[in-house]
Structure 1
Amino acid sequence: MQRRAVAVYVALFLVVGTAAGVLIATAETPEITFDDPDFELSEGDSFEVDGQEYTVADITETEAEDDVGDVEIERSGQLEWEAVVEQSETWANESVVELDDGEWRVHIEGEDPTAFTLVEVLDRDAILSEDPAADNETVERDGEEYVVVTDEDGESRLVPADDYFPAPEERSYSAGDSLEYDGHSVTVDAVTEDGVTLVWEGPETSTMDVDQEERITLGDTDFIAYFPDGETMVLSSDFEAYEAQLAEIDRLDQQAEGIWRVLIISVLSSLLVIAAAFVPSRY
């Protein structure tokens, strides 16, 4: 009679455990979905937010094993855009800069300057090579530099270099003045003893790395980024729907944990009842 009762209890626990096992085996954690996302994008697609155009520069998918050997899939992407920003450059005092297809030396005078001068750097070699009457290089006599010039009679004479070469062009600028430089219209922002600071507005490429389910801000708009596969990036501003799905997934996870407990308790109870059945009776 005792063993018959044990068999009934064991069968009951096994039925409960089997039902729990079936639920665990067939249960699937739902994936995040967006019925009407703001953007559903592939690599190379462009989209606009608050007047700014963005491009999906990259979408990647990688697989890695965790500590217990399960394969985890990680997805991410990168956004790229161009924005007009203020850029700057500093010319050091007495440095040489390229301007208008030529070279110019930056010259600043005084202890508290408000202006500077660009002094043309003459290409003396080019000037000498273009003059058939002059030697292609200068000579030095008694510490002075000369150009050897041959007249029509074949006689050579020494011409002081300062007299032979033209006076270099000079251009003066003050803080607030504008000039053309490197394809930009630049403004003299500040002049100090050490150098000149130029500013201008120009395009600059920026990038943003985007991870799975990351909250990002584009312009004045917040989005949740989601990668349903290795080729698609979804951007949605519907945080209410996203939070509701997270809550549902959390609820299902808690239910799954409860079912696991039922399965474990059922198995342990069955073993305990079976063990108790073999305990010798004192009566």
Structure 2
Amino acid sequence: MKPYRIPQLAKPYTDYDMIQRHTELPPFSDGRGHLLYIFLNHGSSAERVNGELYTLVTALVQLGLDTHEAIDRSNGEQGGDPMRSRQLKVLAGDYFSSWFYHLLAKREQIEMVGILSTAIADFNVMKAHLYGKMRGMLLSAEQYLRQMVQLNMRLFLSFTPMIEEPLAEIWEKLLAEFSQCETVFLELRRSNDPANALDGYCYWKMLESATEDERQMLRSHNLDLKDWKKLMMKYKCDSLLTDKLHQSLLSIRGLLQGIKDENLISELSHALDHFLLQMKISGQAAVEG
């Protein structure tokens, strides 16, 4: 099997000075992508031949969807740099997503165009339902996190029919745990900034236990950094997320122990190590057990 190199292959489609200067892109779906690449390469010859292409286009679509998701939907200041950042995120998200059709059509993979198009449509329906619940304040923190994980799995689940039958179950279990890790890691990262965190896990968790005055502050979406940090410390949101990350990593290691194929175990262990390195958490006590 060729080494995993999807992040490098994606760079010609994602590295643009204008975008990097004026806005910040979401993290690349490296864990899920590496996992998909490994399992496709343990499938039939057709999947092995196209495994790199399928993983690349899926990662680009996911980056496009995540870039749109990162657009600030607040009603705050609309001029200058914030407006430029919003506009670039819209354009960048559309641009990244558009490459899947071009790259697949170039290789005459028309069926895969249809499969991914269906997955994108499903993703958008799921996201709309989630936003509806958020607007109606009909969501708990755990429900929010669970639905975000399901959203982050959707594109990758499209490939389950291509996974060798004996491996399909472990593929889905590992995909769920890797998706949980990436989702929780992003929630941890965004929790440092109230402007980014005010519709995330910590926001919903605080609402569940906050005093009435605190709820009013949270619902107004008008907290400064000092007030936000006080609430974060009071309700231990970072600790809750770190515990979830720790538990998912333990689950991944447990799943790997149940695999009998030594080559597959080796590849997945390498993917996990690479994943931890990319998240920059491999040295943290919270995930070392």
Smaller-chain TM-score bracket? under 0.3
TM-score, structure 2 length as denominator? 0.20
Q: Which has the higher helix share?
A: 2
Q: Which of the two has higher C-alpha Rg? A: 1
Q: Which has the higher strand share?
A: 1
TM-score, structure 1 length as denominator? 0.20
